[in-house]
Amino acid sequence: MASILALIALRAFLVAVFLGVGRLSLPVPVLSVAAALLLGGALFPTLRNITRGLLHRTIDPALPVVITIAILIGIRAFSTAGIFVLILLFGDLIKNIINRKIRESLERLTVYLPHTGFIKEGGAVKEIPLADIKVGDIVAVSPGARVPVDGTLLAQHALFDESVITGESKPIAKRAGDTIPAGAINMSDYVELSAARTSEHSAIAEIRKLVEDAEKKKAPLAKFIDRYAFWTVTVVGILSVGVFLFTHSIDRALALWIAMVPVIFALIGPIAISIGITAAARIGILVKNTEAVENLTKLRKLVFDKTGTLTTGHPQVKEVVPYGTPALAERDLLALAAALEERSEHRLGKAIIARAKDLGITYPSPENVHVIEGEGIEGAASGASVVVGNLGLMRDREIRLDPGIEQDLRNRAVIGETPVLVAVNGKLAGGIFMADRPRPETPEAIRELKGLHYELAMLTGDETAVGLRIAEEVGLAPGDVKAELKPEDKVRLIQEMERTEKVAMVGDGINDAPALSGATVGIAMGMGGTDLATNAASIVLVKEDFRDIPVIMRQSRFIIRVIKENLVAATAIHVVAGALAVIGAITVVQSAFFHEASSVLVLMNTARLFSISRNGSSVRTGSVPAASA
Ligand code: ADP
Ligand code: MG
């Protein structure tokens, strides 16, 4: 901050020297050279940007202003030129302060990472540079220290402050096997993690990289604003020449030109976007694609995947029921299912394995495993051919179900139990009944989204009765449920909806990747183990909190509203000042004042985006607590 002030003071000093020199009665050529040198020095950063722009064949928005100053020097209006530059410096000051704040809030995303990590090797713990930590290394984390790289918790239980990613500094309970992000603070005793990613690919590093990349891309409304600015420059240029020819007053013509050149317009979109998406990233909402921000404000329909989105995605085994004769033991059923699911990424599969392990069941290793997306998995284990999956898969494989069993499945579906059926050697052997609870925050967030007048729908591959049950629990209408869909059905449904209106799809980023990329805006719940960069969604809710959906909806509206407000306010000031200039009511200097006033107003209004609104209350996204180590 001090350096910004010092630089602006130095530039203002050059102008002051020039204004002093102007008071001396010196010959005009001397004054002209002094003006070019001193005012040029004061405008050095601007001139540098303009030159760089021209080298890349782009026109810096400040070019018209610099040309104006050159004209003022040319017509020997020296003090006007000097005062104009002073006024510009004030706008530069505000711009620099805001730019610095944007950079700082982005840097805060990674600045708290430690530079080294403690690795356990052959019983000894040694400290090594962050970049040298390899996947699979055992990382030792002392109480109060920050986690150096994303890792999997090896201790049974531990508490971590993940504010580096979530913006919320409350301790979160973690269990063995959970992923802990780099930058999280260990709030419990000494723990060990197994490094899951290298430092370069830690979630927090990826988030920062993606936010930086997103900011570089074209901001929302950019095309409109660019065209608007182009036409304003053209029209105002012609008008100014016209005013000069008509009134023979170069002062009026220049005053009009200065009042109306749309310099600030080039910044309206990018600054709002930078501040808005960095604020969102600070609370764990990652916008990878800035177009999504504008699109979110244009669409009225939100489609949710059920598993892992509306629900926790951590299903529990409720009951294991052998159906066959002779009946297999429950343990043997679980063992066969777990054997195959070992090869599946599906959440149901993971839950079955967890239950088998809890019960101390050892299961054989499978052969010829084949995953049927959205239906189940088949293969061979212990010399038997095994099919594990839903009713549809059993029908496809022509596995017979007694009417009594079908009735049992229906009864269980009504109370929200999803069947995972197990067939052995072509005969139904049993069912593993799973239940996945809605996320505790889902009903509240659904109410909020309804309050924002979104039309909502649920897509699921699960049984219709299970889908209806979850819908009722979270507050969706039965008519909003589309169930028993295969992954390709979900994609097709999204495409059909997209034919008539834009939709946003919220899903889990792994199973739902095709549907996410088919929607106008894809929103992924959680990082889902995949690389953020390759994640199909344009928005990633890093902390898997359903309430972040209304938050990003509001934030998008806020960003676009600020942009529109700025367009209207800046235009209004320009038009009023332009009119005053034409009738000769304001001088060139006063016009320059209006010009800067509109810029400063725009910047100040945009700075409101530094705080983000969450559930109606606004959260400053500035500070991150320091770790004690
Ligand atoms: P959702 O739409 O709820 O995310 P999916 O499309 O992933 O569900 O799967 C649809 C259904 O297919 C599941 O409810 C389950 O019955 C069955 N299924 C899919 N994969 C598996 C698997 N690996 N093991 C058992 N059942 C599975
Ligand atoms: Mg799913």
DSSP letter at 200? G
DSSP letter at 184? -
The SS3 call for residue 221 is: coil
Give 469's contacts (C-beta < 8 A, 6+ positions apart).
413, 414, 415, 416
Which numbered ligand comes closest to the C-alpha of 525? 2
Residue spans of beta strands (DSSP E) within 16-156: 116-121, 124-129, 138-141, 151-153
Which pLDDT belongs to residue 603?
Answer: 94
Residues whose Cβ atom is located within 5 A of ion ligand 2: 305, 307, 511
Peptide bond into 403 cis (omega under 30): no
Q: Which residue from 304, 314, 390 has its CB within 8 A of the most atoms of ligand 1, so it is best to mutate?
A: 390
Identity of the residue numbered 149: V
* Ligand 1 shell residues, CB under 6 Å: 305-307, 341, 344, 346, 348-349, 374-377, 388-390, 418, 420, 460-462, 487, 511
- Tell the residue number behind the tokens 């995953």, with chain if given: 371
Q: Are 137 and 126 in contact (CB under 8 A)?
A: no
Give 55's contacts (C-beta < 8 A, 6+ positions apart).
none
Q: Which residue from 303, 369, 375 has its CB within 8 A of the most atoms of ligand 1, so it is best to mutate?
A: 375
Distance 543 CA to ligand 1 centre (A): 23
Atom of ligand 1 nearest to the CA of 306: 3
DSSP letter at 350? H
Which numbered ligand comes closest to the C-alpha of 348? 1
Task: List phi, psi (to 5°) of 420.
Answer: -110, 110
Which numbered ligand comes closest to the C-alpha of 482? 1
Q: Identify the CA nearest to 84 among candidates 592, 599, 533.
A: 592
What is the distance between the terminal CA atoms of the chain, rounded to a whole angstrom?
27
Q: Identify the CA nearest to 104 among candidates 286, 282, 293, 283.
A: 282
| CA distance linking residue 450 with residue 475, whole number of Å | 10
Q: Which residue from 409, 462, 468, 470 has its CB within 8 A of the most atoms of ligand 1, so it is best to mutate?
A: 462
Q: Which residue from 307, 309, 343, 393 has its CB within 8 A of the most atoms of ligand 1, so it is best to mutate?
A: 307
Which numbered ligand comes closest to the C-alpha of 506? 2
Q: Tokens standing for 447?
A: 């109410």
The SS3 call for residue 94 is: helix
Q: How many Cβ atoms from other residues are within 10 Å of residue 405's Cβ?
A: 17
Q: Point out the residues of the chain with pLDDT beneath 70.
A: 528-531, 533-534, 613-629
Distance 510 CA to ligand 2 centre (A): 8
616: left (phi over 0), alpha (psi -120 to 50) or beta: left
Which numbered ligand comes closest to the C-alpha of 512? 2
| CA distance linking residue 345 with residue 419, whole number of Å | 18
Q: Are 454 and 301 in contact (CB under 8 A)?
A: yes
119 forms bridges with which residues in the sheet?
126, 139
Give 506's contacts (C-beta < 8 A, 6+ positions apart).
302, 303, 304, 305, 309, 523, 524, 525, 549
Distance 507 CA to ligand 2 centre (A): 7
Q: Are 95 and 603 in contact (CB under 8 A)?
A: yes
Q: Are strands 301-305 and 503-507 parallel, antiparallel or unpaired?
A: parallel
- Tell the residue number behind the tokens 């938050």, with chain if given: 551
Atom of ligand 1 nearest to the CA of 391: 16
Distance 375 CA to ligand 1 centre (A): 5
Distance 462 CA to ligand 1 centre (A): 6
Q: Are 613 and 551 in contact (CB under 8 A)?
A: yes
The SS3 call for residue 170 is: coil
Give 371's contacts (C-beta < 8 A, 6+ positions apart).
343, 344, 377
Distance 490 CA to ligand 1 centre (A): 13
Nearest CA to ligand 1 atom 8: 461
Distance 194 CA to ligand 1 centre (A): 29
Which numbered ligand comes closest to the C-alpha of 485? 1
Distance 467 CA to ligand 2 centre (A): 12
Distance 374 CA to ligand 2 centre (A): 8
DSSP letter at 437? P
Peptide bond into 326 cis (omega under 30): yes
- Tell the residue number behind the tokens 């690795």, with chain if given: 119
Q: Identify the CA nearest to 289 among candidates 519, 101, 494.
A: 519
The alpha carbon torsion through 93, 95, 101, 107 (nearest 10 deg) reads -110
Identity of the residue numbered 124: A
| CA distance linking residue 258 with residue 271, whole number of Å | 22
Distance 461 CA to ligand 1 centre (A): 6
Residue spans of beta strands (DSSP E) within 135-284: 138-141, 151-153, 157-161, 171-175, 179-180, 185-186, 191-195
pTM, rounded to two decimals:
0.87
Q: Are strands 301-305 and 455-459 parallel, antiparallel or unpaired?
A: parallel
| CA distance linking residue 352 with residue 409, whole number of Å | 18
| CA distance linking residue 313 with residue 497, whole number of Å | 26
Q: Are 477 and 499 in contact (CB under 8 A)?
A: no
| CA distance linking residue 36 with residue 30, whole number of Å | 10
Atom of ligand 1 nearest to the CA of 419: 16
525-to-149, 308, 509 alpha-carbon distances in Å: 22, 7, 7
Which pLDDT belongs to residue 301?
Answer: 97
| CA distance linking residue 16 with residue 35, whole number of Å | 11
Q: Identify the CA nearest to 32 among candidates 21, 42, 43.
A: 21
Distance 242 CA to ligand 2 centre (A): 65
| CA distance linking residue 518 with residue 267, whole number of Å | 31
Q: Tokens standing for 4?
A: 């910004």
